[in-house]
């Protein structure tokens, strides 16, 4: 006997869909998996007739949504929403959900780890030793971490978690966001220009929107301290990659530590990735066993709720219920 509902999972960053299958089985829903690396045409084919769509990084476009006329919800297996046509889903009264709080400790820890690896020359000196070079003087003398100012671009839950960790090192913390709200943390909120000029480290924790896309462009890098570094664990397109390459080459800034790229994966044959002052990880900041378990269970639970007529938590387009 076939299941009452069918749920398409477009892609995943984990070995199987057992957690999702278990959660959805309780509402008599079966999981349909798209093949790895499916393009839009394949996703359109896979979405035909499904009752819900859950996506990690795959693009859920208007065409994919239209392929599922009975689609009751679209769930993001993550936080950011730039891979889902939320506006079109809203026009069809389809609720879109995400899991905004699932990996906050992991991303905050990763951002701090990238920062320290750069400031303390850890990544560079480790690579030197692997090449048989044991030379403290090969790297510039670092500054005391506690003497530096960390600027946070975006001050949501993750940015606030980074601020808490940075203060444990004695760092001064400033932040900028669209509202100027410090959320009761006592953090000094500044304008974007001031953030650029004052920060020794800038860590990015903002969503990718039309307003924030390529926010860090050539003009922004020229306003930063020549000794500053930039850390990005949010979205690659918040940084103009060509402008970043030029800024590092011209020593307008000291370096960068990146977990996200535009596009992903990036072209690793680019000499930029071999630069001594560049640290990179493969979009890994979000991951831990605990964060994946939370993410998968919560996302699948929200899909299940919609299928049985309940309003899910974390609806990003609540207007569909008005």
Active-site annotation holder among 283, 290, 294, 296: 283
The 3-state secondary structure of the chain, one letter per residue: CCCCEEEEECCCCCCCCHHHHHHHHCCCEEEEECCCCCCHHHHHHHHCCCCEEEECCCCECHHHHHCCCCCCCEEECCCCCCCECHHHHHHCCCCEECCCCCCHHHHHHHHHHHHHHHHCCHHHHHHHHHCCCCCHHHCCCCCCHHHCEEEEECCCHHHHHHHHHHHHCCCEEEEECCCCCCCCCCCEECCHHHHHHHCCEEEECCCCCCCCCCCECHHHHHHCCCCCEEEECCCHHHECHHHHHHHHHCCCCCEEEECCCCCCCCCCCCHHHHCCCEEECCCCCCCCHHHHHHHHHHHHHHHHHHHCCCCCCCECCHHHHC
Q: Is 198:149 a contact under the CB 8 Å cutoff?
A: yes
Active-site annotation holder among 76, 205, 235, 277: 235
- Taking CA atoms, 204 is separated from 25, 71, 208, 214, 218, in Å, by 38, 34, 11, 12, 16
Q: Is 188:181 a contact under the CB 8 Å cutoff?
A: no
Give yes or no: 26 in active site: no
Rounded to whole angstroms, the Cα distance separating 183 from 156 reads: 9
Give yes or no: 294 in active site: no
Strand partners, 319: none
Active-site annotation holder among 264, 275, 294, 322: 264
Q: Is 36:10 a contact under the CB 8 Å cutoff?
A: no
Give yes or no: 33 in active site: no
Token reading at 87 = 């506006």
Residues designated as active site: 235, 264, 283
């Amino acid at each position: 006997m076939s299941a009452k509902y069918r749920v398409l999972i477009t892609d995943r960053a984990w070995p199987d869909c057992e957690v999702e299958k278990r959660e959805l089985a309780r509402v008599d829903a079966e999981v349909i998996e798209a093949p790895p690396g499916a393009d839009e045409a394949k996703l359109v084919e896979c979405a035909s007739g499904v009752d819900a769509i859950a996506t990690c990084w795959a693009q859920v476009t208007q065409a994919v949504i239209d392929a599922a006329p009975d689609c009751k919800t679209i769930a993001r297996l993550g936080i950011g929403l730039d891979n889902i046509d939320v506006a079109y889903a809203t026009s069809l009264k389809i609720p879109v959900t995400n899991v905004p709080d699932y990996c906050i400790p992991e991303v905050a820890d990763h951002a701090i780890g990238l920062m320290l690896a750069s400031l303390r020359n850890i990544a560079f000196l480790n690579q030197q030793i692997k090449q048989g070079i044991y030379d403290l003087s090969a790297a510039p003398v670092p500054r005391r971490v506690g003497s530096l100012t960390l600027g946070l671009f975006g001050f949501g839950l993750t940015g606030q978690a980074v601020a808490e960790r940075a203060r444990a090192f004695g760092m001064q913390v400033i932040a900028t966001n669209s509202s100027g709200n410090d959320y009761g943390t006592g953090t000094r909120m500044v304008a974007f220009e001031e953030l650029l000029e004052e920060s020794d480290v800038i860590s990015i924790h903002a969503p990718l929107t039309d307003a924030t896309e390529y926010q860090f462009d050539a003009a922004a890098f020229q306003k930063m301290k020549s000794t500053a570094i930039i850390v990005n664990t949010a979205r690659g397109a918040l940084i103009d990659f060509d402008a970043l390459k030029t800024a590092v080459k011209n020593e307008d800034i000291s370096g960068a530590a990146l977990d996200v790229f535009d596009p992903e994966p990036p072209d690793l044959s680019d000499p930029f990735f071999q630069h001594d002052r560049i640290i990179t990880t493969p979009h890994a900041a979000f991951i831990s066993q605990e964060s994946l378990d939370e993410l998968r269970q919560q996302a699948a639970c929200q899909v299940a709720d919609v299928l049985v007529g309940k309003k899910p938590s974390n609806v990003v387009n609540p207007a569909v219920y008005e």
